[in-house]
Chains A and B, each alone.
Chain A
């Protein structure tokens, strides 16, 4: 191993690498390209994955949303196109019938209203909600608190507003908590300000008021607009969705095969689709990257083989001067390792640079395509190690060829 630290070894390698510029360049490009692609593809895949995580991050991933539309099949004496509403009674029934499956259930009502504060106004969504909403879609509170059980019981006139609303309705540096805003001409006390999550949201900039208050003020009675449901750990969420819909159809006298009466989104299924897509993309990335790498390494071997042929005479001379086969082989293998290593490092550096620029170009702000596109260091190390090992192995072939012939045959080569 001493030869590795011998400046002469490297002097020899440097000499022959400089001499064979063309080979050096082609080799470096081959491997550089392979590892570059691997880094960029993996980084981009990670960036896209991070982006999806950001989008769905605030939701419990096992959520189902259910609302009503219009029936598409006549049933039990009802015409088709019948409209109807979900009710709090449905909620109670679902909760008791699916107590094992359902973890959380949030019935919701929503409308749109003018909100007034002093001389400032804006039209925003207003949601009547239970505190449980915060558990299904986490609210990032800047000031104060979210709705609580007391608000519900006392039908309190309180609201939680978004950061946007705060900016639009309040003066700069004005304390929002405890202030009054007018929604539909009724005063509400602001108890919290939340920051909208960056990803998907069904509420937009919504003012949250207690469900019971909403019921009273907008006279919605038992009706609810829609509900958010999350499942317990280990529950087949698709099955649960189907079962719940069937129960609801039964309760509302809707034909069991009616496709339109209820609308639903199963976030778990949607996310699984995306995750599947991401896994596919990761796999493709690895496949492409590794194939390119291997191709690059073989290119190196091939080029080394050609240059060994070109250098047969030189090798013959060296052997006449007393170079042992081991020293010849060692030099060729080291050359190949050196080239793959340098090329690999350059590939990593260029790949990282490209990821950096990608991040600057399409990785900023709310509509970013890639979020934090990075590659794991261990993955890079493994790729790098594989590259070096392959480089060594492939270097062995020409090295072996070089010492296979008798020195005189090498010398005779012109």
Chain B
């Protein structure tokens, strides 16, 4: 599903360059549930953003669903994101003046789906995250956990191949964290590839594979033993 070979990325800082990813090799197959861990500044988000086509890499190769990603124009990238990828962010990134339902339906709008159908599907997904009664609430009327569930519903609504989540539980307490992780696991059990960044060991333990990053290189990549939870 995701295949990365010798991937490099640096950010220009004034005249200098900050080398963030220094040759990453990573292969994630369809249906995997992977978490990335690492200290702050190790390049986790950078990696996820490249995988999510929100940013571009400098060197190396990246195949998404078998397609080589190289000098994509923004239009093609947008279509690929809409088709293959769903995003969940630490800060939820809901659109403040749209209701929960409209937020969830938005990716379908960009898919070109008719409004009625769109809202029907969005409602199904909201119900899936147990937020049916909150469909017509604005984001600022929802708790953090509820917002994140709305965001997850929005990430899932296009039935993407991969869900990318950058610290989805970073702003949540432990109970809501468990809720969100349960949701992600359910999604994974349905066959979707899930790729999560986290700081918390407990969160990482709930995934099936943990990749550890340090200073832009992968220092370990192993399957979790406690798969039974």
Contact = CB atoms under 8 A, between A and B. Distances in A.
Interface of A: 7-8, 11-12, 15-16, 18-19, 313-314, 316-327, 403, 406-408, 411
23 contacts: A8-B115, A16-B97, A316-B93, A317-B93, A317-B95, A318-B106, A319-B74, A319-B78, A320-B54, A320-B87, A321-B81, A321-B110, A321-B154, A322-B82, A322-B158, A323-B110, A324-B78, A327-B110, A406-B54, A406-B55, A408-B54, A408-B55, A411-B89
Contacts of B97: 15-16, 18-19
Nearest to A403: B74
A67 to B, nearest CB: 78
A7 B115 CA distance: 9
B56 A406 contact: yes
Contact of A322 (B55, B89, B107): B107
B79 interface: yes
A407 B49 CA distance: 10
Interface of B: 49, 52, 54-56, 74-75, 77-79, 81-83, 87, 89, 93-98, 106-107, 109-111, 115, 154, 158
A16 B106 CA distance: 14
Question: Chain B binding site: helix, strand, loop or mixed by DSSP?
Answer: helix
Q: Sort A-B residue pairs by CB-CB distance and give the 3 closest, nearest first.
A: A322-B82, A19-B97, A408-B54
Contact of B98 (A15, A320, A407): A15
B79 A411 contact: no
Given A19-B97, A314-B95, A320 B81 contact: yes
B93 A411 contact: yes
Nearest to A407: B54
Contacts of B49: 408
Among B52, B78, B111: residue with most chain A CB under 10 A: B78
B110 to A, nearest CB: 4
Question: Chain A binding site: helix, strand, loop or mixed by DSSP?
Answer: helix
Given A406-B54, A411-B54, A321 B107 contact: yes
Contacts of A19: 96-97
Nearest to A325: B74
B87 A324 contact: no
Given A406-B54, A406-B55, A318 B98 contact: no
Nearest to A9: B109
Contacts of A406: 54-56
B70 to A, nearest CB: 16
Contacts of B54: 320, 406-408, 411
A326 to B, nearest CB: 7
Contacts of B109: 8, 12
A322 B95 contact: no
B74 A322 contact: no
Given A15-B97, A19-B97, A314-B95, A325 B115 contact: no
Among A316, A321, A324, A406: residue with most chain B CB under 10 A: A321
Contacts of B115: 7-8, 11
A329 B70 CA distance: 24
Nearest to A414: B91
A187 B93 CA distance: 101
B9 to A, nearest CB: 11
A15 B96 CA distance: 11
A322 B81 CA distance: 5
Contact of A325 (B56, B78, B83, B87): B78
Contacts of B96: 19
B78 A323 contact: yes
A322 B98 contact: no
A324 B95 contact: no
A324 B79 contact: yes
Contacts of A8: 109, 115
A18 B96 CA distance: 12
Among B49, B98, B109, B158: residue with most chain A CB under 10 A: B109
Given A320-B54, A406-B54, A408-B49, A325 B111 contact: no
Contacts of B110: 318, 321-324, 327
A18 B94 CA distance: 17
Nearest to A16: B97
Contacts of A323: 78, 110
Among B56, B83, B106, B154: residue with most chain A CB under 10 A: B106
A325 B77 CA distance: 10
A22 B98 CA distance: 18
